[in-house]
Structure 1
Amino acid sequence: MPDNALPRSRAPAVLQVLPSLRDDAQGRAALDLARAVAREGWRSHVASAGGTLERELVGSGVRHHRLPLEGVGPFAIWLNAARLTRLAREHEVEVIHAAARRTAWSAGFAAKRTGAAFLTTVDAIHGDGGWGGLRRRYNRVLVAGERIIAVSEHVAEHLERAYGVEPGRVRIVRPGIDMAAFDAERVRGHRVAALAERWHLGFERKIVMLPGPVARAGGHHLMLRAMRRLARRDFTLLVVGDVERDAAYVRRIEVQARREGLTERVHFAGPCDDLPAAYMLADLVVVPALQAEGYVRPAIEAQAMGKLVIVNNTGGLDETVKPVATGWLVRAEDPAELAWALDLALSISDDDKARHARHARGFVAHEFSLEQMCRKTLAVYRELVRRHEAVAAEPAAAEAG
């Protein structure tokens, strides 16, 4: 056994490291994985600066370690590496999983010092330009893991092309959603009615929902241009998402809506704490995003709810839809094609809607369920534990020989 290898006297231990446990896609994925590890009978640890999801770990068999992991400076990285090293040694951690770029440097140093296996998750394509080449060096930590989880084929291909990562090191694990939470049959009518009342929605028009952060990457400006091209006026655009991330862009969209004469047909609902109920209000969900990051989950969630979707064919978003069977893919930044798809989707029969709903939910259950995400990630954990056990056993086998 190498001098820096951790002894194991108990069940394997996994430590997930991320900046915080906020109620976002990253925090929710870490929470679900931590619970899955505990259910396997392994020792499950999460290190973060805390957040709204922290309380959901209570009673789950997962240990949370609150550390100041949101810092990104060299000194913060060095201090957090020392903290994580002590933590890994104390709890005999065998797999350290960096679930975010911001914490990957500290987690990688801790893994190297303790002999634990190092795993990274890459959930987006990060630009390498700027900082005189330093940004690319900073991003390279994401491909430093013994194994790398990519959330899509698109991300995996980028890692191989841009960083020369061997395909054998990459495992594709798609993001997962809770199929029970996003189930139309489980959403009570009073939840839907409460949102309709809060947002002052009538029933005289169809509802086209555009979910996700209101930022340029969301493609809201493209949606308005597509609406202008349509002769039909029988729907309202319901924009659901954070309007504070890019206030300048929100103002630009409001001005554009006034200029195009669409103000009465565009409703900004703001963030929503009951997305399943929000999807129930929609006749159609549109994701005209220019990048996948931040907009994959809405496309998946809508299909799980049995909703028709239109998604831009860009940045891995194309992997979230089964064309024709579950929705439509349109060319990015092409308002004419988006307008065509809108008209088609809003015109299909109820029978066709029901058929799309069945296919969509089945597709998401197979490709994007929480169960598949946890199962595939646990398989990577087992692979790394077995690999390290084999390496540790080699010196003993050589001596015996």
Structure 2
Amino acid sequence: MALPPDFTLLQVTPELETGGAEQTTLDVANAVIAAGGTALVATRGGRMAQKLTAEGGRLAQMPMQSKNPLVMLGNASRLVDLIRREKVDLVHVRSRAPAFSALWAAQTTKTPLVATYHGVYNAKSGLKRWYNAVMTKGDFVIANSDYTRRHVIAEHHLDPDRVVNIPRGVDLQRFEPRLIAPSRVETLRRAWGLDPTDHRVKVLLAGRLTRWKGQALLIDAVARLKRRGESNFLIILAGDDQGRRDYRAELERKISAEGLSDNVRIVGHCDDMPAAYLIADYAAAPSLEPEAFGRTAVEPQVMGRPVLAAAHGGALETVVHGETGWLVTPGDADAWTDALAQAVALPAHKRMTMGEAGRTRTRRLFSVEAMCAAYLDVYAKVLEARR
């Protein structure tokens, strides 16, 4: 089913700073442009906004990140004007706060609306459940994993036919080891202060510095590993603290107190993840809460790097235990110590075999091309149903 030749998509997302939802926004915008359409994104902006416009997308800058009711009402009015002015065919919203504005604007202009559930939102009260449910009030709901889809259907009592699973896709060109210039790897190695003669086993945890991502848990595990007499490893924590300076300081104190300054390094935000994964031997995703999908468990596998991931959420769909990596008991420091010990001790040729298995599987199941084709198919079906 094809989109109309003059199709205009408006995506609504809080910010374009960094993250899986933001990257997917850009990927889908590119797919719409490639299909001959127009791609608009209403957002506060951020470090990825320049990439959007450079690739042919158009930025509609407004405070979509705000949860202030008056600002949200103003956003709704601004979206109504934008939809009418640009003759928007379909609105796609990617977060709850802006969803209220987007839903109001879509209903006012009688424009179809779809929403992507990028995370499993906890609801400990009726009010929070009502707040989360705004993501289900449009024409269609997209979930980024089977785990998320099951949650959405059960939580909001939706017709399963209104919810589809479209796994997040990885740009196979961007994450192609053969296309990564050695100079990129060397530049990043220097930026991180890594000695090229350091042949210790390197484990990369890529993710913003926030407690639920599990950085503190991983430090606890490697402290136990070092007490066992193992020191042939370097843990690299790559991610922006996004203002959480107290948590970063807590991690730094823990590293110092455990005598791990030579074994754990916090390197900050990384703009070149393909090069980062080539530096690493393994990737770690020790999230304390289930990841709805977890691209940091998929991207390294595309690069041929085995993954140690917490055994819950989307990781159960993206990591095959013992074949492409290890699924580890969530929140259990001893279990993580054991898994790290196995990874560090694994001979290089077996590590490469595991990495190649992961690369083959993820390239087959999680390409950005397959994801975008599925998104465009949903758009076409929604437009047809409206007609």
2:227 maps to 1:229: no
Structure 2 CA distance for partners of 1:36 and 1:262, relative to 1, 3 Å: same
Among 170, 176, 180, the alignment partner of 1:187 is: 180
Taking structure 1 as the reference length, the TM-score comes to: 0.88
Shift of 1:354: 2.5
What is the alpha-carbon distance in structure 2 between the residues aligned to residue 313 and residue 118 of structure 1?
Answer: 34
Among 4, 14, 26, the alignment partner of 2:9 is: 14
Aligned residue for 2:239? 241
Among 268, 272, 279, the alignment partner of 1:274 is: 272
Shift of 1:383: 0.7
Which deviates more, 186-195 or 232-241? 186-195
**Which letter maps to 2:150?**
E
**Which letter maps to 1:229?**
R
Unaligned ranges ≥5, structure 1:
1-7, 390-401
Structure 2 CA distance for partners of 1:386 and 1:239, relative to 1, 3 Å: same
**Partner secondary structure for residue 142 of structure 2:** strand
Taking structure 2 as the reference length, the TM-score comes to: 0.91
Aligned residue for 1:393? none
**Partner secondary structure for residue 374 of structure 2:** helix
**Partner secondary structure for residue 315 of structure 1:** coil
What is the alpha-carbon distance in structure 2 between the residues aligned to residue 210 and residue 22 of structure 1?
Answer: 19
What is the alpha-carbon distance in structure 2 between the residues aligned to residue 149 and residue 163 of structure 1?
Answer: 14
Shift of 1:9: 9.7
Which deviates more, 333-342 or 148-157? 333-342
Shift of 1:61: 4.6
Find the structure with the greater CA-based Rg: 1
What is the alpha-carbon distance in structure 1 between the residues aligned to residue 30 and residue 161 of structure 2?
Answer: 28
Structure 2 CA distance for partners of 1:388 and 1:371, relative to 1, 3 Å: same
Aligned residue for 1:25? 20
Aligned residue for 1:157? 150
Shift of 1:268: 1.2
Which deviates more, 158-167 or 221-230? 221-230
Aligned residue for 2:311? 313
What is the alpha-carbon distance in structure 2 between the residues aligned to residue 95 and residue 58 of structure 1?
Answer: 20
On the 8 A contact 1:291/1:317 being kept in 2, the answer is: no
Query: Structure 1 segments of 4 or more deviating over 6 A?
Result: none
On the 8 A contact 1:19/1:48 being kept in 2, the answer is: yes
Aligned residue for 1:251? 249
On the 8 A contact 1:222/1:335 being kept in 2, the answer is: yes
**Partner secondary structure for residue 33 of structure 1:** helix
Q: How does 1:2-81 map to 2 (within 5 A)?
A: 11-58=6-53, 60-81=55-76
Shift of 1:331: 0.8
Aligned residue for 1:176? 169
What is the alpha-carbon distance in structure 2 between the residues aligned to residue 40 and residue 9 of structure 1?
Answer: 10
Among 139, 148, 156, the alignment partner of 2:141 is: 148
Among 356, 360, 363, the alignment partner of 1:362 is: 360
What is the alpha-carbon distance in structure 1 between the residues aligned to residue 148 and residue 12 of structure 2?
Answer: 21
Structure 2 CA distance for partners of 1:71 and 1:261, relative to 1, 3 Å: closer
Which deviates more, 339-348 or 293-302? 293-302
Shift of 1:374: 0.6
Among 364, 370, 376, the alignment partner of 1:372 is: 370
Shift of 1:251: 2.5
**Partner secondary structure for residue 263 of structure 1:** coil
Shift of 1:185: 1.5
Alpha-carbon deviations, 1:17-41, whole Å to 9, x = none? 1223334332221121112112222
Aligned residue for 2:87? 92
Aligned residue for 1:392? none
**Which letter maps to 2:186?**
A
On the 8 A contact 2:144/2:292 being kept in 1, the answer is: no
Alpha-carbon deviations, 1:85-144, whole Å to 9, x = none? 2222233322111122121111111111122111011111122236xx433222110111
Structure 2 CA distance for partners of 1:386 and 1:47, relative to 1, 3 Å: same
Shift of 1:293: 4.9
Unaligned ranges ≥5, structure 2:
none
What is the alpha-carbon distance in structure 2 between the residues aligned to residue 312 and residue 91 of structure 1?
Answer: 44
Shift of 1:204: 4.4
Which deviates more, 41-50 or 115-124? 41-50
2:193 maps to 1:200: yes
Aligned residue for 2:209? 214
2:322 maps to 1:324: yes
**Which letter maps to 1:117?**
P
What is the alpha-carbon distance in structure 2 between the residues aligned to residue 324 and residue 87 of structure 1?
Answer: 51
Alpha-carbon deviations, 1:366-385, whole Å to 9, x = none? 22221121111111101101
